[in-house]
Amino acid sequence: MPQYSINISGPKGSDKQNLLYKDRSITDRERLETIYEVSTFLMQSLDINEISEKIMDSLFHCLKRIDSGSILLVEDKQELKEVIARGRHNKKRIKMDYSRTIVNRVLHEGKAIMMSDTSRENEEDLSESISIKRIKSVMCVPLISKSKIRGAIYVHSVNVPTGFEKDDLHFLTGLSSPASVAIENALHYSKRRKAEDALRKAHDELEERVKDRTIELSKTNAFLEQEISVRKQAEEALERTNKFLRNILNSSFSISIVSTDLDHNILFWNKGAENIFGYKVEEMVGRKGIDVLYPDDETRREVGEIRSLILKEKKAISREVKEVTKSGKELWVNLNLSPRFDEQGNVIGILGIGEDISERKLLETQLQHAQKMEAIGTLTSGVAHNFRNILAGISMESQLMQMKHQDLPRLNEITERINDGVEKGARLVEGLMQFSHKQTKKDFQNINLSDVLQGIYQIISKSFDKKISISMDIPESLPIMGDHAGLSQIFLNLSNNARDAMPVGGELRITAGKEGTMALITVSDTGCGMDEKTREKCFDPFFTTKEVNKGTGLGLSTTYGIVKDHAGEIHIDSDPGRGTTFKLYLPLAFPDKKADRESILEIKKGEGTKILAVDDQPGVLKPMEEILEELGYRVASVTTGKEAIEKYRSWQPEIVLLDRNMPEMDGTTCAEKILEQDPDAKIVMLSGYEDHGPDGIYDKVRSSIKGYLIKPIDMRKLSLLLSRLLQ
């Protein structure tokens, strides 16, 4: 018998007691007989309606104070179903308004509840329905079978307060146990009957359908045979199509096509992928993940971000990524990644189509480097021009002092030191111009490159630390057209770099030979090597990895310029910890020719000839004017191109010394206008640029001018040129 609680009501506002009863005995003989009679009946019936009516009859018979009663059952979805509801004076079933709050509490706690007089309860303890319906007394007991709450029996009175007593609750509780078992048995029986009826009906329907289906099958058998034939033909056609598509996918040896699932496992690997990456299809499909192609964590992270974006946005993405072959060679691949979908539109994998663009990337890098070097070269050329103008003023002033004061030995010593400084500055400018490969090639001679390398060996073998082993493998003769000093500087710079890369010792090896029409020279060391970022910047001017005051950053940039000036190429092969190898390619010279050499220049004096000097820099123009006068010439000087044109028309000089770079009107334009006046005009161009500098000289003017001197100007060369023009 279930536990239950009884609310015993006292005066309003007084404390209430909640008493718990268990296994209470029923002393009323009539009620005991009723429970026995009902139990006997219930055990013999499997009709839920009959059982419910019998329970209601016994309740109204024994409990004279109740007005209405109901049996409620909990269905599978925990919803309440009203099995029966009746009033005392009408055996017809009614729609009963019961207190859902009390019923829910009984079902939740599994305990019986009795409120003998609701008017004595606190309003906050009463449900809204009790107040609205003016229910005076309530009893509700759970229906429990096999330790599970199956429902509840609910009765109430709306007329009589204190309508129920403890014995009434004992009776109702005693009746609930056999009622629970009987109701559950009836429900099981009802379900079984329904299942049997449904099964019988289904059996009958099935037999009928089998008959109908047999007829249909006999009618459609021929159609199915035809359908099978058609499908077989379609499958054969599909197989031919698939074979055709596979042939297409595998026919391109330069395009990789790879399919993966969401776990990065490889599902398809075409012949192009085999050709590019070196892995056979049987090595990859179902055996390895796509991550085997990524050379480093950075690439894995980048591709992982791309894959996440594809899964999120469900659209294709193209990127250029680094990948690695089976042999360890790194490639640049233009990768197009697309999502693969199932029939419901869910992403189930990724299809990657890749193209090896390593060669194109190399060309792009070379082009970018060439453009950068060209831009730096143009800047360097401009700096060299301004520096040459400064040196020109200093040089002319020094030479003027020498000419005027040849009898002062002390002064001559000072001016010689000044001239030495000017010469060093000029060599620095020459180095910058070699870097920008804008210096003239007119002094190149046919030289034996092996002699240059032997000379370098003599220097470094005596000056390098003994911990560095030096070896050379060069032929006796390797003729090229070039500048001996510039080439010596190349190999001295590379040797010094190799020495600095091997502070604890190592091996320096220099080899040379012919490769077609080019001389190939390699300079290799076993030093610390360079990473990718250092390799990309090593030819930039002023870039150095050495400590402050231990490197200018001009060594390799100057080397690059000299190599380019010799129409050559220079390449680097280096990695951290593997040393560095420089490969130089220089054009061979055939046949061997000796360049003419000028004799030592002597200062030539003028004889009153008129010379027009034009330069926008007063620091250059004034000493040049005095030097020319000291040499015996008549000189007029102006600072602009417009003044030069007017002065030439009015003064008619024999020679014009014309600065090439001036504001408002440059020297080339000025020369063109003077030549329009006088096609026989003798014009010598003076410039801080080489004759193929950034602003150029028009072909018409180039063929008409009589000379081109680069600042700073040696007065011996100037005097000789003037002397030749006047002969």
pLDDT at 438: 52
**Cβ-contact 656, 684 below 8 angstroms:** yes
DSSP 118: G
pLDDT at 405: 83
Lowest-confidence pick of 120-124, 214-218, 675-679: 120-124
Bond prior to 587 in cis (omega within 30° of 0): no
Helices then strands, counting H and E runs in the chain, come out as 19, 25
pLDDT at 585: 94
**Cβ-contact 98, 129 below 8 angstroms:** yes
Confidence of residue 6 (pLDDT cuts 50, 70, 90): very low
For residues 154 and 107, give the distance between their C-alpha atoms in angstroms, rounded to a whole number. 11
Lowest-confidence pick of 41-55, 123-137, 177-191, 300-314: 123-137
Strands 148-157 and 137-145: antiparallel
The strand ranges marked E within 262-346 are: 266-269, 317-324, 330-341
- Strand, helix or coil for residue 647: helix
Bond prior to 663 in cis (omega within 30° of 0): no
Whether residue 173 is predicted with pLDDT greater than 60 in this model: the reply is yes
Q: Is residue 306 within a helix (H) or strand (E), and if so which, with residue range?
A: helix 297-313
257 has which bridge partners? 353
pLDDT at 9: 37
Q: When comparing pLDDT for 204 and 527, which is higher?
A: 527
**Cβ-contact 525, 579 below 8 angstroms:** yes
Whether residue 684 is predicted with pLDDT greater than 90 in this model: the reply is yes
Helix axes 166-251, 48-62, angle to 10 degrees: 150
Token pair listed for 191: 């379900």
Strands 580-587 and 255-261: unpaired
For residues 269 and 256, give the distance between their C-alpha atoms in angstroms, rounded to a whole number. 8
For residues 445 and 488, give the distance between their C-alpha atoms in angstroms, rounded to a whole number. 14
**Cβ-contact 500, 606 below 8 angstroms:** no
Helix axes 358-404, 409-435, angle to 10 degrees: 170
Token pair listed for 130: 């009790």
Whether residue 121 is predicted with pLDDT greater than 90 in this model: the reply is no
Q: Which residue in 613, 518, 612 sits closest to 571, CA to CA?
A: 518
445 has which bridge partners? 482
Confidence of residue 651 (pLDDT cuts 50, 70, 90): very high
Neighbours of 217 (CB within 10 A): 11
The structure tokens 């009802």 sit at 190
Neighbours of 712 (CB within 10 A): 25
For residues 488 and 521, give the distance between their C-alpha atoms in angstroms, rounded to a whole number. 13
611 has which bridge partners? 635, 655
Alpha carbon of residue 47 to chain centroid: 75
Lowest-confidence pick of 186-200, 271-285, 582-596: 582-596
Virtual CA dihedral for 377, 380, 385, 390, nearest 10 degrees?
A: -170
DSSP 601: P
**Cβ-contact 283, 274 below 8 angstroms:** no
- Strand, helix or coil for residue 705: coil
For residues 420 and 158, give the distance between their C-alpha atoms in angstroms, rounded to a whole number. 130
Q: Which residue in 524, 509, 528, 508 sits closest to 468, CA to CA?
A: 508
Residues 6+ apart with CB under 8 A from 390: 619
Strands 112-115 and 137-145: antiparallel
What sections of 538-617 are H helices per DSSP? 555-565
Q: What is the pLDDT of residues 701-714, one digit of tens each?
A: 788 898 888 888 88
Q: Which residue in 139, 187, 179 sits closest to 52, CA to CA?
A: 179
569 has which bridge partners? 585
**Cβ-contact 3, 18 below 8 angstroms:** no
**Cβ-contact 668, 660 below 8 angstroms:** yes
Q: Is residue 376 within a helix (H) or strand (E), and if so which, with residue range?
A: helix 358-404
Q: What is the pLDDT of residues 9-35, one digit of tens each?
A: 333 333 333 333 344 455 567 777 777
Whether residue 493 is predicted with pLDDT greater than 60 in this model: the reply is yes
Q: Which domains does the chain have, with CATH numbers?
A: 4-192 (3.30.450.40), 252-356 (3.30.450.20), 364-420+602-727 (3.40.50.2300), 445-587 (3.30.565.10)
Virtual CA dihedral for 258, 262, 263, 266, nearest 10 degrees?
A: -20
Confidence of residue 657 (pLDDT cuts 50, 70, 90): very high
For residues 405 and 412, give the distance between their C-alpha atoms in angstroms, rounded to a whole number. 8
pLDDT at 13: 37
DSSP 317: E
Q: Which residue in 164, 153, 158, 79 sits closest to 114, CA to CA?
A: 164
Token pair listed for 98: 């019961």
Neighbours of 466 (CB within 10 A): 6
For residues 272 and 268, give the distance between their C-alpha atoms in angstroms, rounded to a whole number. 12
Percent of the chain past pLDDT 90, that is, above it, reads 21
Q: What is the pLDDT of residues 377-415, one digit of tens each?
A: 677 777 777 777 888 888 888 888 887 888 888 888 888
Q: Which residue in 489, 491, 525 sits closest to 509, CA to CA?
A: 525
For residues 109 and 408, give the distance between their C-alpha atoms in angstroms, rounded to a whole number. 128
Strands 610-614 and 580-587: unpaired
DSSP string, 177-245: HHHHHHHHHHHHHHHHHHHHHHHHHHHHHHHHHHHHHHHHHHHHHHHHHHHHHHHHHHHHHHHHHHHHH
Percent of the chain past pLDDT 70, that is, above it, reads 82
Q: Which long-range contacts (C-beta less than 8 Å, at least 24 apart) are formed by 594-598?
A: 594/445, 594/446, 595/443, 595/444, 595/445, 595/446
Q: Please, is 33 exposed, middle or buried when counting C-beta atoms within 10 Å of its C-beta (0-12, 13-18, 19+)?
A: exposed
Strands 610-614 and 655-659: parallel
